[in-house]
Structure 1
Amino acid sequence: MEKTRKENLKEARTLQIWNVIYDVIEVVVSLIAGITANSSALIGWALDSTIEVISAATLGWRLHGELKGIDEEKVKRRKKITLNVIAASFTLVCIFISYDSITKLINKETSSWSTLGIVILLVSLVVNPILIYYKRKYGNKLESPALLADAKDTFICLYQTVAVLTGLLLVRWLGWWWADPVAALLIVPYAAKEGWEAFSKAKDINHDVK
């Protein structure tokens, strides 16, 4: 039996709730691991995951709004506020990661081994593909560009997970002290791009919202 739009909206909202819960766990664990191991890559990954929390929570907020039947003007206002917050957050992430990584490269600082960090990265390699699959599924069913874009963001997060994991393993196995800060710097171009896009989209909404 074909599900109604309302049923799909409820399931998509539930998906975003679980997404937020997992991302919060991911942020806390990776921050603890990153600070303990002095790993720029893990800390940068944790900060980027914080943006994922904001994005997923906002999307869930918007889906909830549609379920409750709020008008289009209120949806636009919610989106505008969130996009500006995301843009500002990405800017701060870029500044922090760049400063921290370049400082460690200059001082030739290396990170310590972090079993906790490796565990959360490996868990993320399993969880993120599942989230991507269901976000695409409901994005197509609801014809929602926002959900499909969120799936893309999660895919990029998956790529970053691989980059950070590779950096930590190179430090461990080959003694490449520079691999950790370099892995962190790989996050910066994506964060800058996403921050600019969020700012541009917020500006476009400004023309529509009075």
Structure 2
Amino acid sequence: MVSVVTIIYNIVEGVFSVFFGITDETLALLGFGVDSFVEVLSGIGILHMILRMKRAGINDVASRDRFERQALRITGTAFYLLAGGLIVGSALNLITGAKPETTTVGIVISVLSILTMYVLMTWKMRIGKKLKSDAIMADANCTKTCFYLSFILLASSGLYELLEIGWLDVLGSLGVTWFAFSEGREAFEKARSNELSCSCH
């Protein structure tokens, strides 16, 4: 249930973030939205793993199957592409002096995301402890990444709305870039490892 909620939330968040990121010309919000869509790919892999646990037994699934490893490789590639695109976009915005029309939507979305990710993270931790599942606990820890990323968006969007300095939005997009690159690297590391663990910080 919690995995399905996570996937649905990320899809909705992604749609709104990408739409308003393009409409309001805010690169940080656009990058945040694309990141949400990539998280959906990761969420599908987690959902597949949990369904396997239900069929085989929580303690009988100790390693990733082929589908989960492939999902991680696709997710890692998507994160790297996102990071590369944001670096190019940030450079172009700095060169041209482009800046957002407004970042109000970014503030609203980031606050909603902070609240939602906190609830999901707590929910997953409770389930993981109850079932004594390292895999579910690892997923809960990975949700912290989205939680922290939301603070990056809130900071850049809030400061821009107050000061209207263009490079603040670029700084926010570079924050998203750093998280995307880190998540991409971790996805490939997990794909190479057969253990159900998470190296998220």
Structure 1: which amino acid aligns with 2:9?
Y
Aligned match of 1:23: 10
8 A contact 1:34–1:43 mirrored in 2: yes
Aligned match of 1:109: 98
CA distance in 1, matches of 2:9, 2:62: 31
Greater percentage in helix? 1
TM-score (norm 2): 0.87
Aligned match of 1:47: 34
Aligned counterparts, 1:129-140, within 5 A: 129-140=118-129
Candidates 186, 199, 202, aligned match of 2:175: 186
Question: What runs of 5+ residues in structure 2 fail to find an aligned partner?
Answer: 195-201
CA distance in 2, matches of 1:122, 1:204: 35
Question: What runs of 5+ residues in structure 1 fail to find an aligned partner?
Answer: 1-13, 206-210
CA distance in 2, matches of 1:143, 1:72: 13
Aligned match of 1:10: none
Aligned counterparts, 1:1-210, within 5 A: 14-69=1-56, 75-205=64-194
Aligned residues: 192
8 A contact 1:84–1:198 mirrored in 2: yes
Deviations 1:119-164 (A, max 9, x none): 2222112111100101111122223333222222221212211111
Deviations 1:155-181 (A, max 9, x none): 121221111122112222112211001
SS of residue matched to 1:178: helix
CA distance in 1, matches of 2:6, 2:140: 11
8 A contact 2:106–2:153 mirrored in 1: no
Which stretch has the larger CA shift, 73-82 or 22-31? 73-82
SS of residue matched to 2:99: coil
CA distance in 1, matches of 2:127, 2:34: 27
Structure 2: which amino acid aligns with 1:134?
W
TM-score (norm 1): 0.83
Identical columns (%): 30
Displacement of 1:114 in angstroms is 4.2
The 4+ residue runs of structure 1 with deviation greater than 4 A are: 70-75
Larger Rg computed on CA atoms: 1
